[in-house]
Structure 1
Amino acid sequence: MFKSVMVSVKPRLNQADVKLLKGIFATKDDLKKLATKDDLKDFATKIDLLKMERRLKLHVSKAKIDLATRISRVATSSPTIKMFNDLEGRINRYHPTN
């Protein structure tokens, strides 16, 4: 019966609004005063971040290997744990779960 009609009204900005917005947001000139291209070179690039990530992964993998060797050293030095591992090995040999 009735058709709904949507009317869009574009808001108009006047000079007072523009002046207010310039006071809130930094302009291009303001940003140039804060940082130069040389300042931006101090930040890490994508390539630098990838290199750091590779180094971190290498350190983590070395730490995992070091931890595993320390745990195995402790496991083989304790007679109780050694006996338990031998017993578990025999059980798995004669009664495999797979």
Structure 2
Amino acid sequence: MSSYVLDNLEKYHCFTCDKEFILSEYQRENATEEIICPYCHSKNVEDYVFMDDEDGLNDLGCMGISHYTDPKEEFECWARTWGVIEEMRKKKGGNKALK
């Protein structure tokens, strides 16, 4: 698949719960809602580290976030991983979180 790219990463700090999380630049640029803390859901967050080289990924505590620029390739990748997992869960009686 030719459209696979490793994203630039941004590390955020939540000033409400004092935890940190990482998003890709692509996720931030394509977010349809305001970025909030995934732990406490506070809007009191700020990015403070931007990483655009592979050597620095360990400094962020992350091996990397990536995406496909071609939506068809993105869906094919999703279907091979999460699509299979969803089918397995359905066969075992389902998962309320997915419904």
Question: TM-score if structure 2 supplies the norm length?
Answer: 0.21
- The structure carrying a bigger helix percent of its residues is 1
- The structure carrying a bigger strand percent of its residues is 2
Question: TM-score if structure 1 supplies the norm length?
Answer: 0.21
Whose radius of gyration is greater, 1 or 2? 1
Higher relative contact order (CA closer than 8 Å, sequence separation 6+): 2
